[in-house]
Amino acid sequence: MIVDDHQIVRDGITRILKDEDDIELAGSVGSGKEALDFIKCNRPDIVITDLSMPGMSGIELTGKLAKLYPETRVLILSMLNNEGYIVSAIQAGARGYLPKQDSTTGILLEAIRTIASGDEFYSPSISKIVLESFVNNAKSTHVGDVAKKQQLTSREKEILKLYVEGCTNNEISEKLNLSVFTIKTHKNNIMQKYNFKSTVEMIKFALRNNIAEW
């Protein structure tokens, strides 16, 4: 089905699909709310949606569909092609993303068939943006984690390893022959240094950075 607040866009996609024997158009609506009402009774395999729409954005619609109807796959077709919108759409559950301004009939049909087969589809320009975002995030994470490693004292590393192993404050106290108060003080220092909000967050950081190898 098609979701776009511009009738001319919906009509254009309809004309493209009508001659394809393996694609059936289930419906065409102009808003996210109408889409949810339609999908509740008619379960299309694929929803082609714009992002910028009144009342409910395409990202919000995508997120709702991912929760309510996970078997329905979403293809974004939008004029918006900056990194923020693309990443948000993918995080919401979109299985494909095409920019309206440089998508051809052939690319649209290829995207629909690819997504129908269970794969994801991004146009070359979108794939480049997604890859650059991934690389930049990876570099940023790496630099941040290395900096965090360098801030740990040898005693803090030792105590953090024991937390990762599942030891309690009392058990760590016994193993290191230190008071429970001292153990808690070291833990609080670690939490404050890295602004961890919980013990779970602290342990996730340790696991992600192979603390046992430090």
How far apart are the C-alpha atoms of 6 and 104, rounded to whole Å? 18
- What CATH code is assigned to 145-213? 1.10.10.10
How far apart are the C-alpha atoms of 166 and 160, rounded to whole Å? 10
Does 167 score more than 70 pLDDT? yes
Sheet with 2-3: strands ordered across = 28-29, 2-3, 46-49, 73-78, 96-99, 121-122
Each residue's pLDDT tens digit, 62-94: 999 999 999 999 999 999 888 888 888 988 999
Domain boundaries, the chain: 2-126, 145-213
Up-side HSE of residue 62: CA atoms within 13 Å toward CB? 27
Q: Is there a shared CATH topology between the 2-126 domain and the 145-213 domain?
A: no
Confidence of residue 140 (pLDDT cuts 50, 70, 90): low
How far apart are the C-alpha atoms of 23 and 25, rounded to whole Å? 7
| Fold that domain 2-126 belongs to in CATH | Rossmann fold (3.40.50)
What is the predicted pLDDT for the residue at 199? Answer: 79
Spatial neighbors of 157 by CB under 8 A, at least 6 apart, are: 211, 214
Each residue's pLDDT tens digit, 22-51: 999 999 999 999 999 999 999 999 999 999
What is the predicted pLDDT for the residue at 143? Answer: 47
DSSP state of 101: G
Does 146 score more than 80 pLDDT? no
